Structure 1
């Protein structure tokens, strides 16, 4: 098939580590299909990058990732106002390159990731061109609408009008149905992991490569420094552990607007001497970080199914995570502990349990491969093209049937 992917969640020259999970999925699809990507870049992000000294985008605003052509139109909108119109802004920004790519590439299906504005705009443009549109939802685009009510109408419209909707967890698929989406169009496909990159290894050697103390317990956080990911809850919990005399170092990987606040919080809790902010780390270096650390901690307030937990489990690393979204659905993959979201006392107790009784590091790989996910997505695309849901019956979401990753 020829697959046109539309998403703002994709690496670009300004943000090479952006949404690597989408890059990996597209790369897996490209092994069996012809794929091209249109990934609009917010004009505010582009302006910030240029002010920071980044070079301009390549000529024609086009480049390749893993041999897949990617085009980066500029996404225009009014920051922080008229959020209910962001879909129309996105559609207007996308329209010209979309029509040209459809004319030149002749896709069979449009694959949009993120419900609004990406999916909403792609559905309008795709249907106008006579193309089926498969919409993939990740979590916050559906679960966080109470914080962004202006997105509610557009999200609901996208979920109802998409030819197929792919959800990454059972919890998320159930929420999709609450918007009135036709159940025969909803498919449950858990994300996968590249097991050629993420696999167990020697902890001492990994610690030496990433520069960690060989003897100190190491806690690792990997994610954006934003409220929904809960890094402030982790720091509160670490402050409690420090008061109890627990030995540990905290390593925070990621960037975001909360960093100055978190740095002050670390100082206020008296753990500045055992906390390091590493900023963004290239995705291909994360396996050694997972292997090197005692545990991964993800204290999110909302989630779909976090790829970082799948990757840590594939490396044999235990995790402590909040009991939200689809996280309980993957807890069986590794030696995990779950806690009530937003509760630093429970989080501190869960971390202390793992530190007191660290599990033996497994040698087997956990989770699903990207190749399996690509096969299941391909079946969904084929069912959309043929207008036959039975083609992808394996992934069709049935609320009454239990499923595990």
Structure 2
């Protein structure tokens, strides 16, 4: 049994939040004692202010670490970029020395190189004072090891995962019927925040080109964000209303249903760390079509599980989607491969890091 103070943002959405929640749940199954300090204040109907975000990652976290020092042996901070998230790792580095506790930091970030170069002194301070840094991809580890060679022995890689009780193959016809999705179409699904880095405009351009030669495609894009109106206008201007549907935010319990309506999942990102939705897609036995960014190529290492192309190119994405449309996929093989990335297995690996650190 291990006793851990888990520090992270647990909200209704977001990759770090999903990671933190699922990791805690699966660690707790083994009678480990996990105490949560949530950076998200969970106030109904309102967003956390910038002041609250900073306070909870500085003075709030400092007080939590000191006041609960008898309840845990290890502090595990879930942090990301930009600097207002990463500041929690700085606070925890200082407070852990005061209470004499071991500190593990998991660093999630889609643009690791850019962040580390910009905030190198802060990153160096954290690496100097922590016991272990968990990264979600080997690409992250290679860059950080090269930048801070004397701390390379503190770096370990544990990828993200998925909930196998939730994401598994389901009958596609039943799922399409439940969501009123056409049965006679090749369905492409995407869910991500509607922001620039997710590359939606390239997906819309690629679908527009494909629609010139085949009329059986139907692309569903779920998510919310500041690009909603821009993407709606792009679809309208391209006369793609019959081929692309923006469905907005969807609740968690509907995500696996949407994934299972599809022939494959597409994520045309310009930058990623190790996207959880990738694991959820292959957990449903669906091939993952994406870009060669972050840790994605480490997971989609075989064309049996998906296809990848260079980012920021609608032409490359079009060719890749066309190849996916013409390929016979082995759902069972994809699902079997995904099983090594269940949160249960990720939690086991994380616990072994706790035991090595304590």
TM-score (normalizing by structure 1): 0.77
Q: Could you tell me which residue of structure 2 aligns to residue 25 of structure 1?
A: 23
Maintained 8 Å contact 2:187/2:264: yes
Please list the CA deviations of residues 19-41 of structure 1 after superposition, one character each: whole Å capped at 9, or x if unmatched: 32321111111112111211223
Aligned Cα RMSD in Å? 2.8
Please list the CA deviations of residues 53-104 of structure 1 after superposition, one character each: whole Å capped at 9, or x if unmatched: xxxxxxxxxxxxxxxxxxxx976279xxxxxxx6x8831243334433335x
* Runs of 4 or more above 4 Å deviation: 15-18
**2:131 aligned with 1:163, yes or no?**
yes
| Deviation of 1:168 (Å) | 1.4
| Deviation of 1:329 (Å) | 1.0
Q: Unaligned regions of 5+ residues in structure 1, if any?
A: 52-72, 79-85, 386-405
Greater shift, 112-121 or 374-383, is seen at 112-121
1:318-397 to 2 correspondence within 5 Å?
A: 318-332=287-301, 334-362=304-332, 364-367=335-338, 368=340, 369-385=342-358
d(CA) in 2 for partners of 1:328 and 1:16? 21
SS in 2 for 1:267: helix
Q: Could you tell me which residue of structure 2 aligns to residue 11 of structure 1?
A: 11
Please list the CA deviations of residues 292-337 of structure 1 after superposition, one character each: whole Å capped at 9, or x if unmatched: 1011001111112211111111111112100111111111465311
Residues 141 and 156 of structure 1: is their aligned pair in 2 closer, same or farther, counting only changes over 3 Å? farther
Q: Could you tell me which residue of structure 2 aligns to residue 83 of structure 1?
A: none
d(CA) in 2 for partners of 1:108 and 1:330? 33
Maintained 8 Å contact 1:159/1:176: no
Q: Unaligned regions of 5+ residues in structure 2, if any?
A: 81-85
1:144-163 to 2 correspondence within 5 Å?
A: 144-145=114-115, 149=118, 151-163=119-131
Maintained 8 Å contact 2:16/2:108: no
d(CA) in 1 for partners of 2:209 and 2:90? 44
d(CA) in 2 for partners of 1:374 and 1:361? 25
Q: Could you tell me which residue of structure 2 aligns to residue 109 of structure 1?
A: 74
In structure 2, which of residues 282, 288, 313 is the aligned counterpart of residue 313 of structure 1?
282
| Deviation of 1:179 (Å) | 3.5
**2:194 aligned with 1:221, yes or no?**
no
| Deviation of 1:229 (Å) | 1.6
Residues 308 and 345 of structure 1: is their aligned pair in 2 closer, same or farther, counting only changes over 3 Å? same
**2:251 aligned with 1:282, yes or no?**
yes
TM-score (normalizing by structure 2): 0.87
Aligned length: 346
Maintained 8 Å contact 2:273/2:295: yes
Residues 349 and 37 of structure 1: is their aligned pair in 2 closer, same or farther, counting only changes over 3 Å? same
d(CA) in 2 for partners of 1:258 and 1:152? 31
Maintained 8 Å contact 2:132/2:155: yes
d(CA) in 2 for partners of 1:17 and 1:305? 9
**2:67 aligned with 1:92, yes or no?**
no
d(CA) in 2 for partners of 1:231 and 1:95? 40
Maintained 8 Å contact 1:38/1:98: no
